[in-house]
Structure formats: structure tokens, C-alpha cells
Amino acid sequence: MKRWIALFFLAFVAVNQLSAQCSPAFTYQADTNNFVIFTNLTPSNVAFSYQWSFGDGSPIDTSTNPTHQYNSSGVFEVTLSVDSGTINCGTYLDTIFVNFCTSNFSYQQNINFFQFQSSSASSSASSFYWDFGDGNYSSQKNPSHTYQFTGQYAVVLNVYDSLSGCFSSNMDSVVVHSIPCEANFNYTTNEDTLFIQNQANNYNLISYDFGDSTFSFLENPTHIYAQSGTYVVCQTVRDTLNNCIDTFCDSVIIFIPPPCQAGFSFSVNEDSLFVQNNALNYQVLRYDFGDGNSSTSENPIHVYSQRGTYQLCQTVEDTLNNCIDTFCDSVTISIPPPCEAGFTFQFQGDSTYFQNTATNYDSLIYFFGDGNSSTLENPIHQYFNSGEYVVEQRVFNHRNCISIFRDTILVTISTSCVAKFDLALDTTKPSTLYLVNNSSNDNSNQYFWDFGDGNTSTDKNPTHQYAENKVYPICLRVSDTVLNCMSIYCDTVGLDSNGNILKSPGFTLKVIDGAAIGLNEKDNPLKELQLYPNPADDVISIKWPPKVNEINYHIFNINGQIIGNGKFTREDRNAINVSQLPTGIYWIQINNEENQLIKKMIKQ
């Protein structure tokens, strides 16, 4: 029993001693070529077998102290299993970090162009610094570089790994045997002008084609285009030593602002010039009217003081583009002579015939000096009292011209022969027009009526039938061979209130005796009463005759209707308001207790 115990004890001791002698362990060290050197720390006084697993999928290695090359940086689990043949000593595991810091590089060359490729094994390299040996640098991992000159250059790559603190530097030489010529330029434009800045390299000849069939051999030419447009500008450079030709082209847009252009049209109205501006592309404008006057208005109106032909010139200026242009045209001004009043006159019986001699007028008016007036060109006026009268003619035109001509006439009225009639209507007989014969009525008086339609009568109070409704000039001549006198009175009949002919188809003219209806002015103190002005616009004033202190009046229209009436005395009223009456012919009947007077009034 004791023997078995002793054997078991010896075996137990032997096993424990063997286990203590085969405990697996290792260390490692990486070099700069992605190799890791493992050092086996398992006791070697016992024969063992080893199995290495490097954690990168590579085959099991049974070497005692293997060296393993990793294909990439990273974190790997490495295990070492040890077996003595009689007992399994176990497995040792360690995690290793492989990060190789190398600065190797390669490159591809195309004449003077190099593409560099870094072959650093570090996956955590944080910075690259390239020195191309010509004063240029790069921090890219795989940069490209173009050398401008031939020669040999020392290229240096510095790599730094911030995780491992690894720094590596590598240098290699590159040789540039030739530099290709290279065309290039920049440009600016200012309207029609092109400014070129040459950027070409490695050449000894240069030329430019401006795209408008013009060329230059200057380094930095300036070119002026004649027209707006888009032009293809090409630069060609040559290196005759190395047989190199290169061309660079770019599109250039030229905008030439249109030139300033003077121009105008005009119209003339007598002395006035009306200008319509047609100028283009300008900032400043000026007109010279050729008479010493000028204007900077766009569309001026100018009034010339004298007739004649003038040179009208317009000058425009584009101050931004240094452009000046002038356009001229001839202007003929015809200023009509001023208006000039004038008339002559002659007497026929008791009527005064005025002959107009005025010139260059548009309208006129006569004032006969007895409170009456007329706007007819050649009026016939009958004065009722002998005496001197100052007759005034006023003429007007659209040029604000007013001319006045006066003449004094001596009128002698025959008291034995007086021709006079007035117009009246009977509203119950709309087709009959009455003439009230207020002429003298001596037994030896003779009467001659001219009805204006080719018919006449020697009756004192005739009746005449007209065939047409139109205005007729009617004249009455009263003559007396015994008393040796003659008087003529004329008027027109057939007008309605608007001055148009009567509406009825034909009318009858009937002359009635004024003495029979109390209208005869003989020995009538009212006959010296005067209404003026006549024609009138607003108010008719009254010139009172002697011995008349109170009157009544009625206003009749041409149809015989009373449209106004009133009563006034010499002291309290001396005018009749007619401003509300329509334009036309009216009759004013004036009477007092003993006498009656009818006056024709024209409202204008």
C-alpha cells in the first residue's frame, strides 16, 4: 500500500515539474518591411512541438521562433500552442498591432508631367509631405506635378503616423529632359476693345488670331473690334528648338454700344416751330434755331420774330462713349402781316353803305356811333338823326392781333322822306311774316319795294308770297319829287331764332301800316331812346331821351312770343339783362302812357 502511494506521489511530482517546464509564452518585434519577428519564451530543456497561428489566415507555422510577414497593417490575435508529446502544455495568446510606417513611392512620367504614387504600408498615416525639388510642395497622398524647366530634381516624401508616432522619409531623383510649349492667355474687354494677358510657357514664337481676319505677334496685344459679336480668339505658340506647337482658343463677346445719332422732324404754323426729337443714344441735347436762340428741351416750341429761312441744328452727345453728332435742316417761316382795319362808306338816301377794306383778320365788328353795331362784313346802316358820328371798326385774328380804324361821317337825314320797316310775327299765322311800315307818310311820297327774289312792288303796304324758305334781302325806297328827297332802308327776313331759315315750306310777306298800329315814330319822343350795345352779350344799356322818365318794355322772340318784360324809371334803372337769352334776333317793345317804340336787338 505504501509502495503504491509512493509511486503516485512520484508521478504527480513528475507531472507538475513537466507542466512548469512547458508553460508557453512569446514576445515579438516588427521591422520596417512588414515583418514581425516572434521570440518563443517556452522553456527549451524539454522536447516540444509548436504551432503558431498569426491571425491573418496564413498557414500554421511550427517553427520555434518564426518571422512572419503581414500584407497589411492591422490588429491580429497570435496564438502559440505547445505540446511535449506526453502532456499538452497549453496555448498562449497575444494581440498585436501591426502598423508599418514607410515612405516609399513610385511615379509615372510624361515629359515634364509626373504622377506620384505613395506606397506607405501604414493605414493610419495622418500626413504626407512632398518636396518636388523645384520649390513646389504638396500634402496630398498621391499628387501630380508639372515641371516648368528641364533638369534633375530630388523628390522627397515624408510620412508621419500619429497613432504609432512613426516618421519615415524617402528620396528619389527624377529627370526632366524637355518642357512642352503651352499656349494660354487671359483677357478683359471694354466695349469694343480687347486686352490680352499672355500666360503661355516654353515658346519662342507667338501669334494671335482675333477672329475678325486680323492678327498680332505681340506678347500682350490690345485689339479694337469694328462690330459687336462673339469672336473666337486663338493664341498659337511654337518652340522651334523642340519642335513644339500649341494653340489655345477662347470665345470673346464684344458689345459696341450704338453711336449717338442726332435727328428730328418738325412742323411750322406761321411763326411757330414745333420740333419732334428723333435722336438716339445720347445724354446731352441742344438745339440752335438759327436766329441766335437755342434750347435744351427734348421737343421744343420756338416762335420766330421775323419771316425767313433758318438753319435748325440739333447736336447730341454721348458723354459715356465720347460721341457727338449734329443734324441740321432748313426751316422756312412765313409770318403773315398784321391785321389792319379799314373801311369806306357812301350814302344812298338815308342809308349808309359801308365797304370793308380790312386785311388779315378773322372777325370784325362795327360801332356806328349811335349805340348800334354790326358784325357784317359790309353793313348797311340807317341813322335816324342827322349829325356827326364816329364810326369805329375793330378787326381781330388768331395771332392776338387787334386793329382799330375810325372815321367821322356827317349824316343828314331827310325829315320828309324816311324809309323804315320792322319785323313782326303773328303766332296765329306761322307762315306769314309781317313788315311794319314805319316810313314817312306824306301824300307825295312814293314807295318802291325790292323783295330780294326778283319781285318788286310800288304799293305802300304790299303782300308778297315767297316760294322758298330762305333769307331774302328786302329794301324799301321812299322818294318824293315834290319834296326832292329819297330814303332807302334794307333788312333781311326769313330767319328763325337760331339764324336759320323758317321751317314752313314757303311763307307770305305782308306789309302793314305802322301808323295803323301806333308804331309810327313821327312826333314820338321815344324815337330818340337808344339801346346799346347792339348786338349785345349780357346787358343792354338805355340812353334816355329828354322828357321821358318812365317806360315799360316787352321782349318778343322772332315767333312773336313775349319772353320778358319790366318797368323802370330814369332814376332807378338804366339797363336790361339779356344774358340768359339764347343767341338770335329779338324785338323790344318800349312804351309809356302816350307813345310806343319797337327796337330790333341781336343777342350774340
Q: Dump the DSSP string for 358-417.
A: -BS-SEEEEE-SSS-EE--SS-EEE-SS-EEEEEEEEEE-TTS-EEEEEEEEEE---SS-
Q: Are the CB atoms for 598 and 587 separated by under 8 Å?
A: yes
Predicted confidence at residue 42, as pLDDT, reads 85
pLDDT of residue 3: 40
Q: Which CATH superfamily is domain 264-333 in?
A: Immunoglobulins (2.60.40.10)
pLDDT of res. 220: 97
- Number of C-beta neighbours around residue 365 at 10 A: 17
Mapped onto helix, strand or coil, the DSSP state of residue 410 is strand
Q: d(Cα 36, Cα 69) in Å, to the nearest integer?
A: 6
- Kindly state the cell numbers that stand for 264: 428730328
How high is the pLDDT of residue 398?
84
> What is the distance between the alpha carbons of residues 81 and 467, in angstroms, rounded to a whole number?
158
Q: How far apart are CA 489 and CA 587, in angstroms?
A: 18
Strand partners, 555: 564, 588
Domain 22-98: CATH superfamily is: Immunoglobulins (2.60.40.10)
Q: Give residue for cell 322818365.
A: 549
Query: Measured between alpha carbons, how far is 168 from 163 in angstroms, rounded to an integer?
Result: 14
Helix (H) or strand (E) holding 457: strand 456-457
Q: What is the pTM of this model?
A: 0.36
For the chain, give every domain's residue range.
Answer: 22-98, 105-176, 185-254, 264-333, 343-411, 421-513, 530-603
Give dist(CA 223, CA 369) in Å, integer: 89
pLDDT of residue 543: 82
Question: Can you name the residues that pair with 477 across neighbouring β-strands?
Answer: 448, 488
Question: For residue range 485-514, what is the model confidence (pLDDT) as tens digits?
Answer: 777 788 777 645 443 444 344 556 666 655
Supply the DSSP string of 15-27, one letter for each residue.
HHHHHHHT---EE
Instruction: Write down the pLDDT at residue 373.
Output: 93
Please report, in angstroms and rounded to a whole number, the separation of the first and last CA atoms in the chain. 175
Specify which residues 388 forms β-bridges with. Answer: 410
Which residues of the chain fall below pLDDT 50? 1-16, 18, 495, 497-505, 515-522
Q: Residue 558's pLDDT is what?
A: 60
pLDDT in tens, 262-297: 999 999 988 899 999 999 999 999 999 999 999 999
Task: Please name the residues in contact with 140: beta carbons below 8 A apart, sequence gap of 6 or more.
Answer: 128, 130
Give the integer Cα–Cα distance in Å for 599 and 602: 10
Topology classification of domain 105-176? Immunoglobulin-like (2.60.40)
Q: Do domains 22-98 and 343-411 have the same CATH topology?
A: yes
Q: CA-to-CA distance for 576 and 553, rounded, in angstroms?
A: 9
What is the reported pLDDT for 126?
A: 66
Domain 343-411 matching CATH 3.30.210.10: the answer reads: no
* Cβ atoms 494, 488 nearer than 8 A: no
- Reading the block at residue 441, the C-alpha cell is 307818310
What CATH number should be reported for the domain whose range is 530-603?
2.60.40.3080
Q: What is the pLDDT of residue 517?
A: 45
Query: How many CA atoms, within 13 angstroms, populate the side-chain half-sphere of residue 527?
Result: 13
Pick the CATH number of 185-254 from 3.90.400.10, 2.60.40.10, 1.10.357.10, 3.40.50.300: 2.60.40.10
Q: CATH code for 421-513?
A: 2.60.40.10
Give the model's pLDDT for residue 5.
34
Cα dihedral 368, 373, 377, 380, rounded to 10, equals: -60
